[in-house]
Structure 1
Amino acid sequence: MIIKNKFPKGFWWGSATSGPQSEGRFNKIHDNVFDYWFDREPEIFFNKVGPNIASNFYNSYKEDLNMLKEIGLNSFRTSIQWTRLIKDFETGEPDEDGIRFYDEVIDECIKNNIIPVMNLHHFDLPVELYDKYGGWESKHVVELFKKFAGTAFRLFGDRVKYWATFNEPIVVVEGQYLYKFHYPQIVDGKKAVQVLFNLNLASAKAIEEYRRQDLDGKIGIILNLTPSYPRDPENKEDVEASKFADNFFNNSFLNPAVKGEFPKELVEILEKDKVLWEATEKEMEIIKNNTIDFLGVNYYQPRRAKMREIPFNNEEGWMPDKYFENYEMPGRRMNPYRGWEIYPECMYDISINIKENYNNIPWFISENGMGVEGEERYVNEEGIIEDDYRIEFFKEHLEYLYEGIKEGSNCFGFHSWTPIDCWSWCNAYKNRYGFISLDLETQKKTIKKSGKWICEVSKNNGF
């Protein structure tokens, strides 16, 4: 076999999930915002399937991690749930069962020669902190997050060498405060901007705490980068619109994380519009002095932007949409199940952007994947899902990533979303992403064709 795309030595071939999407609510002492929302409005969730069982990782982590080893994965990202690990939010005191569970998961990863990558926040704010303080609107919650992070580092930092503070923090801003797809479904641009700042501050404070404990690992953040392409690259207004979208949705977290400062043009616009966050000089210093060691990039789709053609309605308050409109490019390739454009070329563009504009920081693809509905249509006689479409999707994306690496971009790994079909917020199990399928009725897990494919890729460090 000729390996055309040979990746760097020690490259991560892995997969990502999260605590709230895989563990189930077994023995969990607090509810997060999604637990609370599901208990009250189950009909919002696809087929009324909630997070109660998810993929049962709390009970089956040994078998599950064994399957990850079987498909050749050498690294695995999940998250530590604030609502599972911490008994007392105000003091950061941990819960015994939470400690036991995460201890065992980490030890099991190491036993299987799988590098554990632990993330601290995956959209799963404790609902109690929302009710009491307004969640991420509150600087006090930022302090409590730092305490939670400190407890996690102290308990597990001897074995976990790769940490992430947040997964896709911009989605908290979008989902909770702008576009109503996460609880509590508020539309408030000014609050959204303050939350955006507070999340950046929380990440920096967690990094500061990690370094204070003087542990010998690395700490980063996981950002979903959705690069903006102007409808017409020759049209100045389209270019400006796409630049604003890039600054708001990507660089508002990427710049502080890597460079310790917010994009200047974005700050000027927010100031002019009187929606800029409240921040002290000391807080700005904390963000400046606590940048990341590595970056995780979740990439699924690009954004296409154009200048506003329909005047923005100011009566509804400030929204980022004031400065752009989304553009549907004719002839674009689509994943019809998710409604997302398929554009693998973006992998190369992200690689070069990080190389040229972000100090060529060490980074990895922390999520990439294709969600498909009704995969049972593709089951063969042996009961295996033949998901050739997923293999093709990964191959195309990896080829463009490889081109970026060849040109010197400092990428050290690729994680798919997700190892085992997992629960996906309001979509529940509508779209499946895993290398391993999950039967919801029986909880039986079966390796798909793509799982066998990734095993070969990992073995050969390329394809």
Structure 2
Amino acid sequence: MQYQFPDNFWWGSASSAPQTEGAAFEDGKGENIWDLWYKNEPNRFFNGVSATEASTFYKHYRSDIALMKDIGHNSFRTSISWSRLIPTGHGEVNPKAVEFYNNVIDEMVAQGIQPFINLFHFDMPVAMQEIGGWENREVVDAYAEFAATCFKLFGDRVKHWFTFNEPIVPVEGGYLYDFHYPNVVDFRRAVTVGYHTILAHSKAVMAYRAQQQDGQIGIILNLTPSYPRSQNPADLRAAECADLLFNRSFLDPAAKGEFPQGLIEILKQYDQMPDCQVGDSDIIAAGKVDLLGVNYYQPRRVKARLTAVDQNSPFMPEWLFENYEMPGRKMNPHRGWEIYEKGIYDIMINLRDNYGNIPCFISENGMGVEGEDKFLKDGQIQDTYRIEFIQDHLSWLHKAIQEGADCRGYHLWTFIDNWSWCNAYKNRYGFYSLDLKTQTRTKKLSGEWFAQVSKNNGF
């Protein structure tokens, strides 16, 4: 079967500043929460590896962009580090950072690679976290000022901007499940963080439109379809609750300018509403995006709770559902995640039918593999499993596009194996492998294959 994609389809990959740049304490960069947390608790990071060096993109961006070009990228997403550009979170702009990001953007443009630039990828400046992070509205305003600064500095060349990557993750990781700093477990505080993040997003969108530039502004959401175990009404309700909390909490405000009624009802029922101020709903309504990035890795499968909730335990999303392991599911044995390619189609059809067929693209999809060296043969990682993974997802994406979904591109996570939060370099995702000792980049078989896909605009 031949899969041809629409003209001018975006083929590329995605990464972020904190996961690739390194140079964490160089050229005037301020600390972010990952720098701080690593100093305090290095044991929380796989093999004790920090992001201080990462994959040295700060030093090697020019040759790295040449490698992107080599495998047919016409677009690439990274982020601007808030703490590098404005070390204390607001006020003085760091000239070394301006120079670096100008160089990166200019080099991408020179190589015919469209820069997709995101503004926040989990990397809160320490100076902002110290006054409460996203719990504090002052930080919302500081972020809006940071965003406006970026648009002014780089918007003449950057035509695809994104306010946040996976904004639900700092909510879950930092305020519910203890896998990100500041390691709080408190649903009400988590809701405040989510609510203020949406306000920050909308203020950035307003700032972008006020500058009347000729690009697009969007947001990148990890949309994880919630599949019920069965059609039993209790299972259907469990899936609906999970969907409201983890997907629609950000999707509805970003695409429709308002929170879903069902989410508000859950928050009221359990007395978890955030502090809303007069005028907030107007700000949120002004945050509707031009373009939606969709990150998809695995499905969420849920069922109605089988056990009673301990009323003395902290209120958590799992009061409303339980996770469900579907018998016979297809697995990535090297990462422990379910592989469900049709999920990418289901997301697209949902956006087509329920969100006005919003223009979108796959901003992340990928397959992490632990111990990938075991697939090394004649000096190259033979990652046929990754090629198969991408092909199978692209075939479902193609079907959605044929059926009218407005999807404009596909970016793999990631370009070169990069540092990944507490997992550090445990799971490898790249088109290029990275030798941590020498920082040597070597093209994997999937990189060669992707170059052909991009060249042929299909496979």
> What residue in structure 2 maps to residue 232 of structure 1?
230
> What residue in structure 2 maps to residue 85 of structure 1?
85
1:296-320 Cα deviation digits (max 9, x unpaired): 0000000001111111122223211
> Of the candidates 427, 433, 436, which is equivalent to residue 432 of structure 2?
436
For residue 316 of structure 1, give the secondary structure of its aligned residue in structure 2: coil
| Paired positions, count | 457
* Amino acid paired to 1:167: N
Identity of matched residues, %: 55
Report which stretch shifted further, 55-64 or 78-87.
Answer: 78-87
> What residue in structure 1 maps to residue 279 of structure 2?
282
Equivalent runs, 1:411-422 vs 2, <5 Å: 411-422=407-418
> What residue in structure 1 maps to residue 212 of structure 2?
214
> What residue in structure 1 maps to residue 31 of structure 2?
31
- Contact residue 28 and residue 83 of structure 1 kept, 8 A: no
> What residue in structure 1 maps to residue 53 of structure 2?
53
> Of the candidates 176, 181, 187, which is equivalent to residue 185 of structure 2?
187
- 1:287 is displaced (CA, Å) by 0.5
- 1:115 is displaced (CA, Å) by 0.4
> Of the candidates 372, 386, 391, which is equivalent to residue 387 of structure 2?
391
Distance 2:342 2:372 in 1: 26
- Contact residue 161 and residue 216 of structure 1 kept, 8 A: yes
Distance 2:94 2:310 in 1: 48
1:231-254 Cα deviation digits (max 9, x unpaired): 002x00000000000010000000
- Contact residue 188 and residue 273 of structure 2 kept, 8 A: yes
> What residue in structure 2 maps to residue 178 of structure 1?
176
> What residue in structure 2 maps to residue 320 of structure 1?
317
> What residue in structure 1 maps to residue 99 of structure 2?
100
> What residue in structure 2 maps to residue 75 of structure 1?
75
Report which stretch shifted further, 450-459 or 40-49.
Answer: 40-49
1:248 maps onto 2:236 in alignment = no
> Of the candidates 444, 447, 450, which is equivalent to residue 448 of structure 1?
444
Unaligned runs of 5+ in 2: none
- Contact residue 88 and residue 94 of structure 1 kept, 8 A: no
- Contact residue 205 and residue 286 of structure 2 kept, 8 A: no
Equivalent runs, 1:304-319 vs 2, <5 Å: 304-319=301-316
- 1:88 is displaced (CA, Å) by 4.4
* Amino acid paired to 1:394: I
1:328-360 Cα deviation digits (max 9, x unpaired): 111111123322110001111011000000110
For residue 370 of structure 2, give the secondary structure of its aligned residue in structure 1: coil
TM-score (ref. length: structure 1):
0.97
TM-score (ref. length: structure 2):
0.98
> What residue in structure 1 maps to residue 376 of structure 2?
379
> What residue in structure 2 maps to residue 355 of structure 1?
352
1:341-392 Cα deviation digits (max 9, x unpaired): 10001111011000000110100000000000111111122x1111000000
* Amino acid paired to 1:76: F
Distance 1:446 1:390 in 2: 16
For residue 182 of structure 1, give the secondary structure of its aligned residue in structure 2: coil
Distance 1:244 1:60 in 2: 45
- 1:273 is displaced (CA, Å) by 1.3
- 1:87 is displaced (CA, Å) by 3.7
> What residue in structure 2 maps to residue 127 of structure 1?
126
* Amino acid paired to 1:402: H
CA RMSD of aligned residues (A): 0.9
Compared CA separation, residues 87 and 187, structure 1 to 2 (3 A): closer
Unaligned runs of 5+ in 1: none
